[in-house]
A and B are shown apart, each in its own frame.
Chain A
């Protein structure tokens, strides 16, 4: 007996000593949370969780690959402890759901079956068969078979449909899919997803600066599901009413239908869906992820700031918007005239965004009323600057300071502030208040210039000229705008460069002197450079001159003498310097997008930029590395999706935008462009070819 006891003590002692020495000699650093998590697991090493032992499971939990409730032995109590170690609340983590990226499309009925094998896995291993698309869904339903919860079904169009009520986010479908088409994602992941090279994307979605899933919302409209269409657009663009009215729709220029006849009226359809929601009288509810408790200051309540705030709020952060003007909206409110975007519509749209729980402060200017220091002191974790480009470029000619010379943005914002709901003909109060004359010249050829000119007509001026130094062909304004202003009676003076403003003895403008130009060699922008003709000075009799030749951000906030702000670098165009892919500025917690970062650009660019900044801010707030989107498709096209020709399309004319007749327009600031009627919208939606969704070619016979 003594031997036995001595033996046990001896062997226990030897093992203990050996191990304690070994643990010192072979010490390797490990995340301390791993051992904490492991100590809260059963330690039975049973393998029931699917991981090889408790320490493997603990490592997976710490890496975020497994849920705190993974251990089947320790039960709910253990899960709560593990969650506490990881700083997670087991109950409020955002739920994840399966999400099908390639959804929809024209499917040939005869899919390619390899020896009768109806499995996506097998097909993707052998060969594409009659499959044309190399990225999209194979449609044989391995994912449907893999789902233990009956949440996936093969839809009518031959692609899997997720039942969000049944899906638990287990990820079995993701593992079964050989093409990585179906992914398990949280709503936040979906909201902050950006186009990547391997995504199945139609040319329009590749081109849209906001990366809206255009074919999907068009197909919703086609099926009569107008509210789901609105939701699809809202996944990428919270300002759909405004964009539906003012967007110059770069997507349409890349529309594949345009090769055959005319591009689909994508923007008209967006406006149709957006107006449908507004006119329905109620709002589609918008879900937000569980609160994260992080605060973000959004400086500037324009499209970039609103977009950034909207996406940050939806992923669970707490943005607060600071706006220098009396109301939110930025250029949408103060730069775009009432007749293009009624204030009523804009108010409704912005209300929907702020109602999500976004704090707003108006009439506070960055640099004067508050500074970077006060934001940091107030506990904001990150700052977004989207102050836009509000400073007009000066004309740079003698006599510019004479009374009667105005600046474009200044002019538009003053009118916008004075006009609340439109004026009627003969009401000259605004014109008198602003001391406008009767004959005006607008210098410039962009959208701002056209807006100024059309606004002047509505204010009751008798004659409005547009003075532009190149020809109509080179005008950067939207074609529709130019056509509308021609209809409304604006006179164009092309190939004219102002050289002097002539005033009378009272210090009032009487004439604009300009030099005639001729087009020379093309410059860097590809447009032919105008060259002045010597001795061609001409006088144009006007009493008001508006200069709208471009804008830059108002960088006066830099005058605040704080050490913090001095670290923020600007470019030589006084835009804020940032990393073009992550939108992070020279100060790590400051992000910037919109005109303030890019210089004057489209509303939709600002909206896309706001979302991109929201993604970076989200990464920054989570303490992750702020990295650019991998394999980003920004400003690139998927080469195989760019077609030269397209066959088999019956030409149908595209829907024409309904407009108010010219004689009723000039009386007031009432909206000019009208929404498509439902029948026409449905017909237009039918014109969509649903590109990047034709996965199998029925005509192809060879394998």
Chain B
């Protein structure tokens, strides 16, 4: 049991790491990774939704009729997204403002729905939590890494601390929209280079 939990947990960290291995849920990846902070904030929010929805879907998997399962998943996910929205509004208001509409848009993130369908609907609650946690942490780390690169090159800082000397000319291209695409593309290329046999 413990072994399989570890397996389900770790696959999200490397073997099926979203968004690189499964090219899903790209919109928040591109939009919110202007800084490490935003990236991690978004990642944590998604992780919370992912774990909770996985758990609930898994618990209800014998009750939900197969025909309307997608609709049920959406409602479950939307409920947790609303919870996250309200919590963030209350405690981390500046971050909430920065992430803007991407918090409610976790509802339509393919990763969350995809895990509910592909994993939680078929597996026990404990395994589903492990899966959700693994995928969520993998997602958070990816966002953090992408955020770090973009913030570092585009702003010369990491988590607000200056990394380069005063002579550094920021690479503003990186924090703008085109930089997001190019940076993600090159990271994907890097992953392909080291990840594939």
Which residues of A approach B to under 8 Å, CB–CB? 12, 39, 42-46, 48, 72-75, 78
Q: Which residues of chain B are within 8 angstroms of A78 by Cβ–Cβ distance?
A: 118
Beyond A73-B117, A73-B118, whether A44 also contacts B66 by CB under 8 A is no
Contact of B69 with A43 in the complex, beta carbons under 8 Å: yes
Range for the number of chain B residues in contact with chain A: 10 to 19
Q: Is the CB of B24 within 8 A of A48?
A: yes
Complex contacts, A74 vs chain B, CB 8 Å: 117-118
For B182, list chain A residues within 8 Å (CB). none
User: Nearest-CB distance from B75 to chain A (Å)?
Assistant: 8
Per DSSP, are chain A's interface residues mostly helix, strand or loop, or mixed? loop
User: Would you call B101 an interface residue if the criterion is a C-beta within 8 Å of the partner chain's C-beta atoms?
Assistant: no
Most buried by A among B22, B75, B113, B118: B118
CA distance A73 to B121 in the complex (A): 13
Whether B114 and A42, one on each chain, are in contact in the complex, defined by CB atoms closer than 8 angstroms, is yes
CA distance A48 to B16 in the complex (A): 14
Question: Is the CB of B70 closer than 8 A to any CB of chain A?
Answer: yes
**Is the beta-carbon distance between A39 and B114 smaller than 8 angstroms?**
no
Are B118's CB and A39's CB within 8 A? no
Using Cβ atoms and an 8 Å threshold, which residues of chain B touch A48?
22-24, 110
CA distance A78 to B114 in the complex (A): 13
List the 9 closest pairs (A to B, CB-CB), nearest first: A46-B110, A44-B114, A73-B114, A44-B110, A42-B117, A44-B113, A43-B70, A43-B117, A42-B118
What is the bound-complex CA distance between A199 and B11, given in angstroms?
50
Contact A44 B23 (CB under 8 A): no
Which B residue's beta carbon lies closest to that of A78? B118
Contact pattern, B 105-116, Cβ under 8 Å of A = 1, otherwise 0:
000001001100
- B 35-72 contacts with A by CB, 8 A: 66-67, 69-70
19 contacts between A and B (CB under 8 A): A12-B75, A39-B67, A42-B113, A42-B117, A43-B113, A43-B117, A44-B110, A44-B117, A44-B118, A46-B110, A48-B23, A72-B22, A72-B23, A73-B22, A73-B24, A73-B110, A73-B114, A73-B118, A78-B118
B66 pairs with A39, CB closer than 8 A: yes
Extra contacts besides A12-B75, A42-B114, A43-B69 (15): CB < 8 Å: A39-B67, A42-B118, A43-B113, A44-B113, A44-B114, A44-B117, A44-B118, A48-B22, A48-B23, A48-B24, A73-B22, A73-B24, A73-B117, A73-B118, A75-B118
Q: A73–B73 Cα gap in the complex (Å)?
A: 16
Whole-angstrom distance between the Cβ of A175 and the nearest chain B Cβ: 21
A44 touches B69 (CB 8 A): no
- In B74-122, the 8 Å CB interface with A consists of 75, 110, 113-114, 117-118
Query: Which residues of B are found within 8 Å of A43, using beta-carbon distances?
Result: 69-70, 113, 117
Shortest distance in angstroms between B4's beta carbon and chain A's nearest beta carbon? 15
Complex interface: chain A residues within 8 A of B70 (CB): 43
B residues in contact with A73, CB < 8 Å: 22, 24, 110, 114, 117-118
| Interface hub of A44, A45, A46, A72 (most chain B Cβ within 10 A) | A44
B114 contact set on A, CB distance < 8 A: 42, 44, 46, 73
B111 to chain A, nearest CB (A): 8
- Return A49 CB to nearest CB of chain B, in Å: 11
CB-CB under 8 A from B66, the residues of chain A are 39
Residue of B nearest to A44 (CB): B114
Instruction: Return the chain A residue nearest B112 by Cβ.
Output: A44
Residue of A nearest to B113 (CB): A44
Chain B contacts for A72, CB-based, 8 A: 22-23
Using Cβ atoms and an 8 Å threshold, which residues of chain B touch A42? 113-114, 117-118
Closest approach, in angstroms, between the C-beta of A145 and any C-beta of chain B? 19
Q: Are B118 and A46 in contact (CB under 8 A)?
A: no
Interchain CA distance A524-B167 in the complex, whole Å = 100
- Give every chain A residue within 8 A of B118 (Cβ-Cβ): 42, 44, 73-75, 78
Nearest CB on A from B107, distance (A): 13
Complex Cα–Cα for A447 and B24 (A): 72
Among B69, B75, B113, B114, which residue has the most Cβ atoms of chain A within 10 A?
A: B114
In the complex, A72 Cα to B23 Cα: how many Å?
9
| Minimal beta-carbon separation of A148 from chain B (angstroms) | 12
What is the bound-complex CA distance between A406 and B114, given in angstroms?
Answer: 82
Which of chain B's residues have a CB closer than 8 A to the CB of A75?
118
Which A residues are CB-close (under 8 A) to B117?
42-44, 73-74
Report Cα–Cα, A46/B110, bound state, in Å: 6
| Min distance, Cβ B119 to any Cβ of chain A, angstroms | 9
Q: Is the CB of A46 within 8 A of B24?
A: yes
- Cα A456 to Cα B87 in complex, Å, equals 107
Closest chain-B Cβ to A678's Cβ sits at a distance in Å of 46
CA distance in complex: A318, B70 (Å)? 45
List the A side residues contacting B113 at CB < 8 Å: 42-44
CB distance from A611 to the nearest CB of B (A): 42
**B24 contacts across to A, CB distance below 8 A:** 44, 46, 48, 73
Least Cβ–Cβ distance between B156 and chain A, in angstroms: 36
Q: A12 to chain B: which residues have CB within 8 Å? A: 75
What CA separation (Å) do A61 and B22 show in the bound complex? 21
Chain B: CB-nearest residue to A74: B118
B117 → A minimal CB distance (Å)? 5
Residues of A within 8 A of B23 (CB): 48, 72
Residue of A nearest to B110 (CB): A46
CA A306 to CA B66, docked complex, whole Å: 52
Nearest Cβ on chain B to A283's Cβ, whole angstroms: 37
- Roughly how many angstroms separate A51 CA and B89 CA in the complex, as a whole number? 38
Q: A74–B120 Cα gap in the complex (Å)?
A: 12
A698, B93: Cα distance in complex, Å: 75
| CA of A78 to CA of B118, assembled, Å | 8
Which residue of chain A has its CB nearest to the CB of B70? Answer: A43
Chain A minimum-CB-distance residue to B24: A46
Cα–Cα distance between A156 and B54 once the two chains are bound (Å): 58
Quote the shortest CB–CB distance from A266 to chain B (angstroms): 48
* Bound CA–CA A46/B114 (angstroms): 8
Give complex CA distance A39, B65 in Å.
12
CA distance A42 to B24 in the complex (A): 12
Name the CB-closest residue of A to B122. Answer: A77
Q: Nearest Cβ distance between residue B188 and chain A, in whole angstroms?
A: 13
Smallest CB gap from A45: residue in B: B110
Task: Give chain A residues whose Cβ lies under 8 Å from the Cβ of B75.
Answer: 12
Task: Find the A residue at minimum CB distance from B73.
Answer: A43
A472 to chain B, nearest CB (A): 72
* Residues of A close to B69: CB separation below 8 A: 43
Task: Output the least CB separation between B197 and chain A (Å).
Answer: 14
